[in-house]
Amino acid sequence: MIPLFDLTRQYSQLRNEILETVDEVLSGGQVILGPWVEKFERELSEYLGVNHSIGVANGSDALVIALRSFGIEKGEKVVTTPYTFFATASCIVRNGGVPVFVDVDPDTYNIDLNQVEKIIKSERIRVIIPVHLFGQTVDFDNLCFLKEKYGVKILEDAAQSIGSEGKIGDRVQKSGTFGDIGVFSFFPTKNLGAYGDAGAIVTNDDELAEQSRSLRQHGSKKKYFHETVGYNSRLDALHAAILSVKLRYLDQWIKRRIEIAKLYQSLFEEYNLPLKYPKIQDKGYRYHVFHQYVVEFRDNSERELARKHLNESKIGTSIYYPLPLHLQKCFEEYGYEEGSLPISERLSKTTLALPIFPELTDDEIEQVVNKIREVF
Ligand SMILES: Cc1ncc(COP(=O)(O)O)c(C=O)c1O
């Protein structure tokens, strides 16, 4: 059996370190926020090169809180992509706003910035939420061009992309730190994952940081005194302490993920398979951290055949995402119809995620590719 993702292999390598840390946290008695959370926040800020990190309960809350710190008005339109996890758009609705979905680029699967510009030109848009999908950084030169030219605010959904880098001019920076505010998810399957739900908000802006810090704790800066109605969305000390341990391994894990992606690519090339897969370029910086390795088939029936064959061969796969957000029932009122965002709709029918995690062996990758060859 080759799983899509396997947390147990990583745990068996880190077991002693993690259990010692858990013991230290529990012996200290402070289990919500406190010194372990502050330590992780400091380390995360240092790793990312950003002034403030605020640990929260999960990535979805991070999005809600980060967006709220911009003061979204009732009915305000916020631009985002339909080809992403639900939370990217639900945070807009949860803030009283209206999602405006813009189709994705057919090669990167990230939001198409040319189409974003057309919308910003014709409508009042203050905030854009780009997603660094599957771990690939959005084109920051172009995004920052829009930011400068139209004065829009950027909330980066970096839930899937911790450690990936982008470039503005000559400056290389980590994803999550380009925009006004960025969010991360430490859902267990993420490249940096907790053993449960966890997330973070990051920013260089002191005021946005202070607001987010207050919002995660019932809108209070001083205990039992509330300036706004916030949330209970605090990071637990156990998660924070374990994330500190894991953060030390993150770059090494990312390196292995990139190696795995290269091996998939070289095997697909060797067998000349009629698949679309991420063509790795040497840009001189780490623009993709391969949170997911997603390939595209020529049509839906081919994808379904492959999925069935791999699953019968006990190889884990997943579809990210089977129904684009603009066609979700809960967003019906916004009036999108089938055919309105054709690239996202096509990708939802033709893409398949293959196993990728740092402990996956070369031999297992070859087995996955051989099973895909049998499909063709
Ligand atoms: C792109 C994206 N945004 C937001 C989230 C929400 O994160 P969480 O599951 O930690 O709430 C996820 C994670 O699943 C995600 O992949």
Q: Which of 85, 88, 133, 183 to mutate to test the pocket of ligand 1 (most atoms within 8 A of CB)?
A: 85
Ligand 1 site residues, Cβ closer than 6 angstroms: 58-60, 63, 84-85, 87-88, 131, 157, 159-160, 185, 187, 197, 199
Model pLDDT, residue 62: 98
Protein residue with its CA nearest to atom 8 in ligand 1: 59
Domain at 339, CATH number = 3.90.1150.10
Protein residue with its CA nearest to atom 7 in ligand 1: 59
- pTM of structure: 0.97
Ligand 1 mean position, distance from CA 198 (Å): 10
CA distances (Å), 322 to each of 110, 296, 310, 328, 344, in order? 16, 13, 18, 10, 10
Residues 241 and 260 in one domain: no
Q: Which of 5, 60, 189, 294 to mutate to test the pocket of ligand 1 (most atoms within 8 A of CB)?
A: 60
Model pLDDT, residue 215: 96
Residues 121 and 61 in one domain: yes
Domain membership of residue 2 (yes or no) is no
Residues 217 and 275 in one domain: no
Residues 152 and 299 in one domain: no
Ligand 1 mean position, distance from CA 363 (Å): 31
Phi, psi (5° rounding) for residue 26? -70, -35
Residues 233 and 329 in one domain: no
Residues 231 and 330 in one domain: no
Ligand 1 mean position, distance from CA 343 (Å): 22
Model pLDDT, residue 46: 98
Model pLDDT, residue 169: 87
| CB 220, CB 226: distance < 8 Å | yes
Residues of the chain with pLDDT under 50: none
- Cα 138 to the chain's mean position, in Å? 11
Q: Which of 187, 191, 192, 325 to mutate to test the pocket of ligand 1 (most atoms within 8 A of CB)?
A: 187
Residue 327 CA to residue 280 CA, distance in Å, equals: 31
Model pLDDT, residue 237: 98
Domain membership of residue 59 (yes or no) is yes
Ligand 1 mean position, distance from CA 86 (Å): 8
Nearest atom in ligand 1 to the alpha carbon of residue 133 is 1
Domain membership of residue 86 (yes or no) is yes
Residues 236 and 293 in one domain: no
Q: Which residues of 144-176 are buried (b: 16+ CB within 10 A; e: fewer)?
A: bebbeeeebbbbbbbbbbbbbbbbeeeebbbbb
Ligand 1 mean position, distance from CA 224 (Å): 30
Residues 326 and 284 in one domain: yes
Residues 287 and 234 in one domain: no
Ligand 1 mean position, distance from CA 370 (Å): 32
Number of H helices, E strands in the chain: 12, 11
| CB 355, CB 316: distance < 8 Å | yes
Ligand 1 mean position, distance from CA 58 (Å): 8
Which residues form the domain of 297?
Answer: 250-375
Residues 270 and 366 in one domain: yes
Instruction: Give how many domains the chain has, as a whole number.
Output: 2
Domain membership of residue 346 (yes or no) is yes
